[in-house]
Copies of this chain bind each other. A is one copy, B any other.
Amino acid sequence: MAQKPSIPKGTRDFSPAEVAKRNYIIQTIKKHFETFGFMPIETPSFENSETLMGKYGDEGDRLIFKILNSGDFISKVDDVTYSSKNSASLTPKISEKALRYDLTVPFARYVVMHQNEIDFPFKRYQIQPVWRADRPQKGRFREFYQCDADVVGANGLLQEVEFVQLYDAVFTDLGLKGTTIKINNRKILSGIAEVIGAKHLLVDFTVALDKLDKIGEEKVKTEMLEKGISEAAITKAQPLFEMTGTAAEQLEKLKSILAESEAGMHGVAELEEIITTVDVLGLQSAKLQLDVTLARGLNYYTGAIFEVAAPEGVQMGSIGGGGRYDDLTGIFGLKDVSGVGISFGLDRIYLVLEELNLFPDSLDIALDVLCLNFGKQEGLASLKLVSALRKAGLRADLYPTDAKMNKQFKYADKRGVPYTILLGEQELTNGNFVVKNMKTGNQQAYSLDDAASFAESIKSAF
């Protein structure tokens, strides 16, 4: 009768060791979100379908997990729809709710619904899972966490500066030195398309340019030609392929290329202010890099665009990204609310920290002290001792049965406990307990009345 259990593809169980590592990253991100003045909100795992559908393009609509209506859902489907036996027309009749696909649309919905309770500018963060019916592959899951921070209702460039600092603060704290925060501005991309006479082909132009890193200059140009961008336009865009030097030098080059484009010059001015301010304030371990080929989510962002690359030598896609979008809440009827935000890629950050061996060793320790179990009488004294240690804040446990010492020590080993406590007949008579350091093998006796000072000595050793 018993089934061999499994979990749906693209989903994961997390063991205690994995949860500890994930929580370490999440807590670090959270801490800095909060020092930067962001406040947490949470939204439901599922939304009404009409809140989500149509917000992520056709592909997105397909990847949204739909929830089947409860009860006798089929009886509510009209005969005409039913007889069509067509999934697309049947879906809205038998499903009214869907799992969250990202945190941005639910956030926009939240802002509109709660606009009268919110004090703008509103800096919110949200760390929750999202679900996508994507084809699972290495590093891509059907359930994964997003860690987003956004500001709505603030128009200056201060936010962009702060987000660069925030990335720097988090990655520095995680020990991940040498990340590159790439920055661009949608207005610069628009300006370039305008200047080279390909304004109507902005998306094609940008999609091709975005691939420069991966496929190289020649192939990018071939793709542009294929998309109908003229030879002359591509020649005009030549300086983009030769964007080297410091940010200041690149900005000068852009000013000469974009002199004729108002939007473009506006973008350059914005970038210049952000870069200059960040420069004055200084970064701890990241570097800020102007990258005119950066275009992620072009149809979405209207100002700054960010993307973070792992330190050189680590093969990993972006570990963070974001930007400014001028009309976050328009889809839900609240106009003129500008937003800007960034996201941290939890799963990829995890893989990078693992690869560089940057997780603190202390995360492997889930239990500070294991008290061995010598039997009923000693067990009660042990339980008292363990209770006292727990009250003192130690993670302490009593082995549940008086199994053979061998077995108990083996368990202690496997759990990686740094200290075991021996409280046998002899110790009970003497009114003390013996602490064994599992690494050095050293043993030390403490009085049973003095559990607190033992606890203090352990805590100060961490």
Contact = CB atoms under 8 A, between A and B. Distances in A.
A44 B11 contact: yes
A269 to B, nearest CB: 14
A224 to B, nearest CB: 34
A133 B70 contact: yes
A427 interface: no
A158 B400 contact: yes
Contact of A35 (B42, B96, B395): B395
Contacts of A85: 74-75, 82
For chain A, give the interface size range: 35 or more
A16 B3 contact: no
Contacts of A396: 35, 37
Contact of A36 (B41, B97, B124, B397): B397
B68 A94 contact: yes
Interface stretch (A289-297, A311-319, A378-386, A436-444): A378-386
A43 interface: yes
A415 B194 CA distance: 44
B2 A330 contact: yes
Interface in A284-309: none
A390 B8 contact: no
Contacts of A23: 40
Contact of A332 (B3, B68, B156, B330): B3
Contacts of A35: 390, 393-396
A63 B71 CA distance: 9
A198 to B, nearest CB: 30
B333 A43 contact: no
A36 to B, nearest CB: 6
Nearest to A335: B2
A155 interface: yes
B47 A390 contact: no
A280 interface: yes
A454 interface: no
A7 B387 contact: no
A5 B112 contact: yes
Nearest to A276: B380
Nearest to A393: B35
A121 B151 CA distance: 47
Contact of A11 (B46, B159, B414): B46
Nearest to A63: B70
A371 B61 CA distance: 43
20 contacts: A2-B332, A3-B50, A3-B51, A6-B48, A7-B51, A7-B113, A8-B96, A13-B114, A36-B390, A36-B395, A45-B143, A65-B70, A66-B67, A67-B67, A70-B133, A151-B400, A156-B400, A156-B401, A158-B400, A161-B383
